[in-house]
Amino acid sequence: MSESYNTQKPLLEIKNLKKYFDKSRGLFSKEKRFLTAIDDVSFNIYKGETFGLVGESGCGKSTTGRTIVKLYEPTAGSIIFDGVDLATVKEKDMLPYRRKIQMIFQDPYASLNGRMTVTDIIAEGIDTHKIFDDMPDPNKAKQERIYELLESVGLKKEHANRYPHEFSGGQRQRIGIARALAVDPELIICDEPISALDVSIQAQVVNMLEDFQKERGLTYLFIAHDLSMVKHISDRIGVMYLGKLMEVATSDELYEYPLHPYTKALLSSIPVPDPNNPNKGSRIVLEGDVPSPINPKPGCRFASRCEYSKSVVYRNEGSKSFVDRLEGRIARVTLLHPETNELIVKSNQVITREIAEYIDSLGKDEFVVGRDRCFSETPELIEVKKEHFAACHYINDLDGTGK
């Protein structure tokens, strides 16, 4: 899209969206355990564009899509579609908006009712929204529409009376796309629509979605973890990690000049089919495990795996003792006793007074700890340069070349 996004009115505005799932155990449990699937996420999608949402499994991508269409009720925040905040719309009043916002689901096997024919599956939305009720012959108009949709997605009229189990995965996903298109939506949430398909079929489905977008002026939220495919289809891309947006930029800008350390690691994992590629072997391997999304601690969600969250405490600096300066900090390395291999402190563990004295007794001249700000303050998504946003306290200190 050639026009600057700043001059357009968004079709969809997501503002401070949150979705928490209560995982407390027992009716009288004193400790409340909330799984923070989406935590304070904000982004816009403009009419006619494709906004890609990427991230590793469990980061909250699919939950974001399902919350936008209100399959999940949002915990907090706004979902403003064409000027109306859907988060405040009651379920009984959602029908007109469900026609405008449709969803293509990830699993083509589970998302189609096995007891319904293809005609019944596609007709369900048409009947619900009474699209052809004003026609002289509603049933004939509906059947012609179904045939037209099937042919537009690469299937045939004779497929209309078959059941889902008679189709391959790629054909089932085409039926899912036809179902979404049946009610003439404005926005389609594509929840990993190609992840369960063969590579050759993936390209066909993506090309088909692009063709429909040009013909019908559709807007897509394209959720996926296939980074190469997301770059191909998206105008802008948002990168999620553990319920938070880490970076948002145009497709070309994000892939050429990633800013956030997580985005750099994610992009470095894309396999390049070129044995002579000079960047071969330059993959950034993240250390440690993804933290638990249940009752997350304050600070940056990526801090426990980020190289830039590390700082060094030296023995011979400052007025305080080495032990005092270590106590209460977050260890960013795992330390074993040099002789017994006994575990002294694990990475991302709080250094107690006892551990600090143990480190001091080993005669260490320095120790790697976490930067206080990374582990105590949650960074905001700020505009670093035009239409390029990132959430990192030290974003201006990082190398923007992606190397």
Contact (CB, 8 A) for 281 and 274: no
Contact (CB, 8 A) for 216 and 185: no
pLDDT band of 196, cuts 50, 70, 90: confident
Model confidence over 209-227: pLDDT tens digits?
A: 999 999 999 999 999 988 8
As a whole number, mean pLDDT of residues 235-256 equals 96
Q: Lowest mean pLDDT of 20-24, 113-117, 195-199, 399-403, name the range.
A: 399-403
User: What's the pLDDT score for residue 277?
Assistant: 58
User: What's the pLDDT score for residue 30?
Assistant: 77
Model confidence over 132-154: pLDDT tens digits?
A: 998 899 999 999 999 999 999 99
Edge-to-edge strands of the sheet including 187-191? 101-104, 187-191, 219-223, 50-54, 236-241, 244-250, 388-390, 382-385
pLDDT band of 94, cuts 50, 70, 90: very high
Model confidence over 294-315: pLDDT tens digits?
A: 999 899 999 999 999 999 999 9
Q: Lowest mean pLDDT of 82-91, 174-183, 276-285, name the range.
A: 276-285
If one counts every other C-beta atom within 10 angstroms of the C-beta of residue 291, the result is: 15
User: What's the pLDDT score for residue 3?
Assistant: 47
User: What's the pLDDT score for residue 401?
Assistant: 40
User: What's the pLDDT score for residue 228?
Assistant: 83
pLDDT band of 2, cuts 50, 70, 90: very low
Higher pLDDT, 228 or 117: 117
Give me the chain's average pLDDT, please.
90
If one counts every other C-beta atom within 10 angstroms of the C-beta of residue 403, the result is: 9
Model confidence over 42-92: pLDDT tens digits?
A: 999 999 999 999 999 899 999 999 999 999 999 999 999 999 999 999 999
User: What's the pLDDT score for residue 279?
Assistant: 56
Residue 270 confidence (pLDDT) above 70 = yes
User: What's the pLDDT score for residue 317?
Assistant: 86
Instruction: Domain 303-376: give its CATH architecture.
Output: Alpha-Beta Complex (3.90)
Residue 162 confidence (pLDDT) above 60 = yes
Model confidence over 98-125: pLDDT tens digits?
A: 999 999 998 888 999 999 999 999 999 9
From CA 217, how far away is CA 108, in angstroms rounded?
25
- Residue ranges matching CATH 3.40.50.300 in the chain: 8-23+33-268
User: What's the pLDDT score for residue 4?
Assistant: 53
- Residue ranges matching CATH 3.90.105.10 in the chain: 303-376
User: What's the pLDDT score for residue 273?
Assistant: 67
Query: Which CATH number applies to 8-23+33-268: 3.40.50.300, 3.40.50.720, 3.50.30.50, 3.40.718.10?
Result: 3.40.50.300
Contacts of 247 by beta carbon, 8 Å cutoff, 6+ apart: 238, 239, 254, 258, 259, 260, 262, 263, 381, 388, 389, 390, 391
- SS3 for the chain is CCCCHHHCCEEEEEEEEEEEEECCCCCCCCCCCEEEEEEEEEEEEECCCEEEEECCCCCCHHHHHHHHCCCCCCCEEEEEECCEEHHHCCHHHCHHHHHHEEEECCCCCCCCCCCCCHHHHHHHHHHHCCCCCCCCCHHHHHHHHHHHHHHHCCCCHHHHHCCHHHCCHHHHHHHHHHHHHCCCCCEEEEECCCCCCCHHHHHHHHHHHHHHHHHHCCEEEEECCCHHHHHHHCCEEEEEECCEEEEEEEHHHHHHCCCCHHHHHHHHCCCCCCCCCCCCCCCCCCCCCCCCCECCCCCCCCHHHCHHHEEEEECCCCCCCHHHHHCCCEECCCEECCCCCCEEECCCCECCHHHHHHHHHCCCCEEEEECHHHHHCCCCCEEEECCEEECCCCHHHCCCCCC
As a whole number, mean pLDDT of residues 244-259 equals 95
User: What's the pLDDT score for residue 197?
Assistant: 82
As a whole number, mean pLDDT of residues 250-259 equals 94
pLDDT band of 400, cuts 50, 70, 90: very low
Residues of the chain above pLDDT 90, percent: 76
Q: In whole angstroms, how far apart are CA 252 and each of 2, 23, 171, 189, 218?
A: 13, 40, 32, 22, 21
pTM assigned to the model:
0.90
Higher pLDDT, 398 or 362: 362
